[in-house]
Amino acid sequence: MGSANLSAWFPEWASTFAPGVDMVFYDLYFVGLIVLILTVGLAVTFMFAFRRRSGDPEQVPAGGLNKCLLGAWMLGTIALGGFAFMAGLGEFVDSTVPPYDSYAIDITTREGAWDFAYPGGYVADTLRVPTGKPVLLALTSEDISRQLAIPAMRVQQAVLPGRTTETWFEPITPGTFPIYSGTFSSVRYDSLPVAMIALSEPDFASWLAAASDIFAGRTMAEVGEFLYVAQGCKACHSLDGSKLVGPSFKNLYGHEAVSTDGRTRKVDAGYVKESVLSPNAFVVEGFQGVMPTFDGKLDDRKIEAIVAYLESLSDHGEAGPQEDK
């Protein structure tokens, strides 16, 4: 076993943790293997060397324990246990405290989906990380408990509902590394993100810039639809005319709106922009002023896209939201 290729035991070293974790394993593994071979080997040897021979008495004297040998054996055991505890302690403490300048990716999972949210607000369904800097993964689940393991980084962590767990690592080489995730369940199939892609820092930056550009390849109305989902407008504003926490977006644009204090206003680009940035300036009758401001989250261009999306949902007249009420 000693001459066996060590790489049979672990995947490649692709993070700064890997050498430390592997070395502790190999140290303990080789010492443990020697002790095991010694113990079992001695037992086998004794069984053959001290076989019962004709003429042996019915019972042989009990004998005693060799005190010196016992002392050495126990000291060795305590030293091995102490080493097992201390050797990985520094690594372990490091692994629980992510550095301040970590690149943080928020990971949320639910049935059938893993969302990877990057610091700029871009949400992807694959995990890409930059090499050469610490990456912090903040994990949470919206339904059941799962595990997320990235063996090449030597990390694995529980993904739990109602909690945020953290793990961090620093990738050292670009490449594609397997991820194991999911849960032991017969009904809730997970779409597994099967790989993590590590990119060099310039590659990562250009990938993120390109991926985050939501305007590329989309009409303004399509961008608006994307934002409607991504920014969570969906939760309070329906598309089919039904009344949720806020007014439906169906047939809203171009119609008259009445506020709680009796003012009337036509829904146009200026109105939409005001509603997005300072929602409580004009609260529509029949609703409460609970909408948060999106000031700082949506720039003018994105608001234009939302306007275009609302336009596409409206018939500009006839049956307006007022009659719906």
Partner 1 sequence: MDNTSHSAVDALRDSYLGGPGGVMGWFRSTDHKRVALMYLAWTAAAFVMAMILAMLPLMMALGGGDFERRMLTQVITYQRLIQVMGWMVPVLPGVLGFFLLPLQLGARNMALPVLSRLSLHFHVIGLLLLLASQIICPIGTGWTMDSRLAMLEPGAFEVLLVGLFFMAMSWMLTGINFVVTVHHGRRQEMGFFDMPLTVWGMYVYGYLLIFSGAVFAAVALFMTASRITTTGLFGWEADPMVWRSYFWFSIRPVAYFALIPGVGILSDLISGISRRTSPGYRLLVGSMIALAGLAVASSGVALIGRGLDPGSSLVFSFFSLLVLIPAALIGFTWLSTLYRGSITLSPAAFFALGFLLHAGIAVGMGMLLASPSLGSYLGTSLFASAQLDYILWGGVMAALLAGLHFWWPKMVGRNFVAGVANLGAVLYIVGLNLALVPRVIMGTQGVPEDAIGLVSGFLAQAQVSGLGWLIVYSGLGVTAGNLLASIWSGDAAEVNPWGAVTLEWTVPSPPPEGNFDG
Which of these segments, 145-153, 203-211, 222-230, 241-249, binds partner 1 (CB under 8 A)? 145-153
Q: Which two tokens stand for residue 93?
A: 């403490």
122 contacts partner 1 (rule: CB under 8 A): no
Of the candidate residues 19, 112, 121, 185, the single one contacting partner 1 (CB under 8 A)? 185
Our CB check for partner 1 shows the closer of 67 and 318 to be 67
161 contacts partner 1 (rule: CB under 8 A): yes
Alpha-carbon span 59 to 77, nearest angstrom = 32
Q: How far is the CB of 33 from partner 1 (least distance, A)?
A: 8
Beta bridge partners of residue 292, listed in sequence order: none
Q: How far is the CB of 184 from partner 1 (least distance, A)?
A: 3
- For the beta carbon of residue 294, count every other beta carbon within 10 angstroms: 20
Q: How far is the CB of 170 from partner 1 (least distance, A)?
A: 15
Which of these segments, 140-148, 239-247, 267-275, 304-312, binds partner 1 (CB under 8 A)? 140-148
Instruction: Bin 197: left if φ > 0, else alpha if -120 < ψ < 50, else beta.
Output: beta
Q: How far is the CB of 167 from partner 1 (least distance, A)?
A: 9
Question: Within its chain, how far is the Cα of 250 from the centroid?
Answer: 35
Q: How far is the CB of 175 from partner 1 (least distance, A)?
A: 15
Of the candidate residues 3, 59, 120, 300, the single one contacting partner 1 (CB under 8 A)? 59
- Give the closest residue to 251 by CA, choosing from 186, 173, 322: 322
Question: Within its chain, how far is the Cα of 5 from the centroid?
Answer: 33
Our CB check for partner 1 shows the closer of 189 and 215 to be 189
Q: How far is the CB of 42 from partner 1 (least distance, A)?
A: 5
Our CB check for partner 1 shows the closer of 66 and 264 to be 66
Residues in region 90-109 near partner 1 by CB under 8 A = 91-93, 95-96
- With b for 16 or more beta-carbon neighbours within 10 A and e for fewer, the 139-159 pattern comes to bbbeeeebebbbbbbbbebeb
Of the candidate residues 115, 125, 143, 295, the single one contacting partner 1 (CB under 8 A)? 143
Alpha-carbon span 194 to 180, nearest angstrom = 7
Question: In the stretch 33-52, what mask flags binding to partner 1 with x, by CB under 8 A?
Answer: x-xx--xx-xxx-xxx-xxx
192 contacts partner 1 (rule: CB under 8 A): no
145 contacts partner 1 (rule: CB under 8 A): yes
CA dihedral in degrees (210, 214, 216, 217; nearest 10)? 130
113 contacts partner 1 (rule: CB under 8 A): no
Burial-class residue 189 by CB neighbours within 10 Å (0-12, 13-18, 19+). Answer: exposed
65 contacts partner 1 (rule: CB under 8 A): yes
Q: How far is the CB of 55 from partner 1 (least distance, A)?
A: 10
Q: Render 156-213 in DSSP notation, one character per residue.
A: EEEE-BT--EEEEE-B-S-EEEE-EEE-S-SS-------EEEEE-HHHHHHHHHHHH-
